[in-house]
Amino acid sequence: MKILAFDTSNKPLSVAVFVDGKVLAHIESTEKKTHSVSLLPDIQNGLQEAGLTMADIDLIAVAKGPGSYTGVRIAVTVAKTLADTLNKKLVGVSSLKLLAANGDKKHLLVPLMDARNDNAFAGVYVTNRDGRLLTVIADHHTSMANLFETLKQYEPNELEFINATPRLQELIQKQFPEATIVMSEDSLPDAGKLAKIAETTRVVKDIDNFIPTYLRLTQAEHDWYAKGNKEDKNVSYVEEV
């Protein structure tokens, strides 16, 4: 199987071409480049490096979030449009699960995305005997305090926090001094691993309705619901005119 995989859900960008279990091309950028500018040229270069064209690709794998809203939209838009326009298979993988793939297989893995104000997107994963990541606690948006409360049930020295910012590191160290903490710069998302996870992930059935996993309402919607408003199921918020 030939897979084109990419992730732009945070500052790093990663593109890989993965053929029958091997990474034939891998393009990465860690510096703060503009994903909207780089992604398609990087995909083009990756395919060229692998000696393939889009026609050869069987499956598109994309990190679907959570992460930077704009970042995940860029990758998801390209992935769904590619899959739709060329009739390719599409797989979406959690951006946090992809980060967990960088962790120590013996650890209880807690991938994080800093969501500011001591909040984060987080999930809890373990690696099974076949090396596959299993979800222990589903990805969610949480305050760090609540996350720590949830994690108290586990052995602190088995915990491995992945993709911490300096602020999150500070909070984690205070709570779980024995835990392993991997900083963002040491835990770049790897599209090669994304392709590998995609091999065993269910294919997207309805490409049109494939959207990023934001895990958060927009502020405007949050405020609107907070005022007691309810979504009217009879109203289509977007309509063709």
Partner 1 sequence: MEKDTLIMSFESSCDETSVAIIKNGKEILSNIIATQIKSHQRFGGVVPEVASRHHVEEVTHCINLALDEAKVGYSDLDAVAVTYGPGLVGSLLIGIMAAKTVAFAHNLPLIKVNHLAGHIYSANFVTDLQYPFMSLLVSGGHTEIVLVTAPGVFHTLGDTRDDAVGEAYDKIGRILGINYPAGKKVDQMAAKGKDTFNFPRAMVQEDNLDFSFSGLKSAFINRVHHADQIHEQLNKDDLAASFQGAVLDILSNKTFRALKQHPVKQLIVGGGVSANQGLRKRLAEEIEKRHMDMELVFPPLRLCGDNAAMIGAMAQIQYDKGDFAKLDLNADPSLDFDME
Residues that bind partner 1 (CB under 8 A): 34, 36-41, 43-44, 54, 69-70, 73-74, 76-78, 80-82, 84-86, 207-209, 211-212, 214, 218-221, 224, 229, 235-241
Q: How far is the CB of 213 from partner 1 (least distance, A)?
A: 12
In whole angstroms, the minimum distance from the beta carbon of 50 to partner 1 comes to 16
Residue with smaller CB distance to partner 1, 86 or 134 = 86
Taking residue 222's Cβ as centre, other Cβ atoms within 10 Å add up to 10
Distance of closest approach, residue 144 Cβ to partner 1, in angstroms: 24
Give the residue with the Cβ less far from partner 1, 26 or 35: 35
Closest to partner 1 by CB, 24 or 40: 40
Give DSSP secondary structure letters for 77-142: HHHHHHHHHHT-EEEEE-HHHHHHTTS-TTSEEEEEEE-STTEEEEEEEEE-TTS-EEEEEEEEEE
Close Cβ partners of 200 (under 8 Å, ≥ 6 residues apart): 132
Q: Which pair of structure tokens corresponds to residue 59? A: 């499956």
Q: Output 40 or 126, the one with its CB closest to partner 1.
A: 40
Q: Measured between alpha carbons, how far is 31 from 26 in angstroms, rounded to an integer?
A: 16
Query: CB 56 → partner 1: shortest distance, Å?
Result: 13
Q: How far is the CB of 59 from partner 1 (least distance, A)?
A: 15
Minimum distance from CB of 5 to partner 1 (Å)? 15
List of long-range contacts for 30-38, beta carbons under 8 Å, 24+ apart: 30/185, 30/188, 35/8, 35/70, 35/71, 35/74, 35/75, 36/74, 38/13
Nearer to partner 1, 177 or 220 (CB): 220
Provide the token pair at 54: 């889009």
Instruction: Considering the complex, state which of residue 78 and residue 96 has its C-beta at the smaller distance from partner 1.
Output: 78
Rounded CA-CA distance 70/107 in Å is 31
